[in-house]
Chains A and B, each alone.
Chain A
Amino acid sequence: MNQKIKLPLQIAGFALAFLLAGQVMAASFLGEGFEKFFKEKIRFGGFVENITGLSVGQEHFQFSTSPRFVMNRFTFQPETNINFHRRVKLFISWRFVVEPRYSMETKIRRRSVAPAGSGGSLPGDFYNETKGVPWEAVLDLSPSDNLQIRLGRQFISWGETDGLRILDVINPRDNTMFAPAAPNVFTLDETRIPQWGLRMWYTVRPVSNTIFEFFANPGFDPKKKRVDDISPGNDIGDGKADGDARFGRWSAQAETRVPLGRLFANPIPGNAPVVIPLTRREYPNAGDNWKIGARFTHNIGALNFGLGYIWGFNPQGLDAVFKVKGNPFPLGPNTGVRLRLLNDRTSIFAGHFNYPLGTYYGIPVKTALRGELAFYPSKPFNISKFPGPTGLRAGPDPKYSDGIVERNNLRYSLGFDRTTFIPFLHPDDPWRAFRMSFQIFQSVILGHKDGIRNFFNAGRINKVQTALTFRVNTGYLGDTIIPDFFILYEPLGNWVINPAVSYAPPWNERIKVSLVAAIYNGTKFTGFTGFFTQKDTVFLKLRYQF
């Protein structure tokens, strides 16, 4: 972030904290007017939380996985709302995180395979967030009744999905600290990375929810976060040009990762690999990191829909593509090849809709239908030829010497939300509904090529990839016991189960205790959840809101 902006903001933040803390003092020397303003126009809130994660996955012959702590994350997040005027409002929050790194984690991360030097241990304070930069800081302006403008560090979320994202790709997501496809561990809001930008809504016609929206994010964010959420490879390089990769908590274990270049390895056991990939992440310049977009939403009868467009750097880790740069070169007895992250300037044509289904021919459907769609024209993918020449597992595709092919990619989801009564499962209150949600996700590569692979695990990307999710939750005993169950299934045979049960005591609305599990299954070479098979973890969350 631009230092010229950073320092004054920090100062402003601490000054605000001082003002908030010194209410009485301020009132005494600033007068009753300030006290009235403070009481009526300023709201203070937030939470403190501690999350402990215990790995319970099966052991692997190459390392000991469980049981061991994988997380003890303490978060303090104060938030302030200042309502200066009905047309001018400020929201500002900070997030402070402290999390130790455990020695077992360090030892495991030190083990690595070639190339030597990779798999370096995490810095001890890698997960800490203590710098005092505002987490969110937005100034809301309403120049007119129909025009709203939001400036500042913010989240912009499009889309209708839960658990997985299709259109919710404007803000990057930090995959270094959370379990993938497990919305009961961290919500999307807790894992998204806020970005500086401008967002604007113009309500053309309120009665039909005809709204025009525009956003522009210049991308003034730390380098590490710009290229964001690399998953599952989780190359969390710190921007130094030393070529070392550092694997975050949710990386697949180093020993089980198969970088694309490894596919070029000599299959004869005992022989040195033929090709050593040197992977270097060169972060795009700030000027390359812009994202802008616009959309139009409208109601036709009960149908609500939107059409939009996003242009800019695609921050999604699973879409990260590495390009072969230059020619192979001798590297000791082997061959080296340079792979550089492709700065994916992408277009996304976006659409969404939602519609409530009622009763048809006497059948009470009573379900909310929703869907979203993202079309990526000429999206780059990594491609190799399988098998490779002279017995190699894989090799460069002769048609695509830089390892990249561009294809149109269509991603969409359809969701069904229903509340239903299951009295025999709810003797406490038969009219306390179960909220259920079913989603289907698909990604279709038009003009698919067989050699298209995910870079990080060299897993095949099929022409059509499908994932199904189901979620159900309810509340017992006056919503003091709140179970929530989420499951994701890929027809390839991978699945994630993410159950949670929370306790909210009836004597204090500020406290919440949750027990959550994230259990993964599958093969690491297919889909993306299979990659985390050894990442089964149980979490205990203790939260106090204020």
Chain B
Amino acid sequence: MKKYITDFTVVGRRVYGDAYFAMELEHPGELPEIEAGQFVEVEVKGSREVMLRRPISVHDVDREHNRLTLLVQVVGNGTRRLSQIGEGERVSLVYPLGKGFLHGIGFVPQRPLLVGGGAGVAPLLYLSRCLTAQGASPTLLLGGRTAGLIASRERFEAVEGAHVHYSTEDGSLGEKGLVTQHSVFGKDYDAILCCGPTPMMRAVAREAVRRGVPCEVSLENRMACGVGACLCCVTETREGHKCVCKEGPVFTPQTLGWDNE
């Protein structure tokens, strides 16, 4: 897929508690093709500490208006600076980057389970739109420590044909406990697609492998170039080090060697 470097205009912002915000960005012309699970590298201007772009996954795509939305967790200087960008300002993106979901399992699942935790819920919105557009009825299971840390719920709940469930460690929303303890987790699916903290993804992948269900997880390593040139963001795989930015961020547990734990 061809990659671009383009200035987008910020046309909308929404804050979710202290930790998350969504930024809606408008493209000057027709938006190129973007796969669910791909990411963008956002330039961070006006910071003395931050030089490198920040990799952020695509949360939503609105083809009609040539807009895309990024859901960002404020974790450091770079994302804090991004949270201060106002409407009307311009932001440079390098995109679309990486390999999205479904390449590893090689088919379009009709009854998939999409599991997200924390900032990892971000790519699952656009993924659920892409899947429902192809006739699938995905089940979404979104987890967090507490209700306030599950962002963008209104957008997930508005996806026609998707079934949204929540699990929180404190029981403040949905079922109490971890995603793997949720009552919908044990049901029958034709694929499990997951993005979230590594311990969560490992637990989900382990269970998917045990049940023989095709599975993909999306990694979030520290990156520099985003295009597979610098080899900074590598992860261990069965075939040696692979760039998360280019050969991922989506991998199967089998590729990562997470299937024999």
Bound pair: A and B?
no
Give the interface of A toward B (CB within 8 A).
none
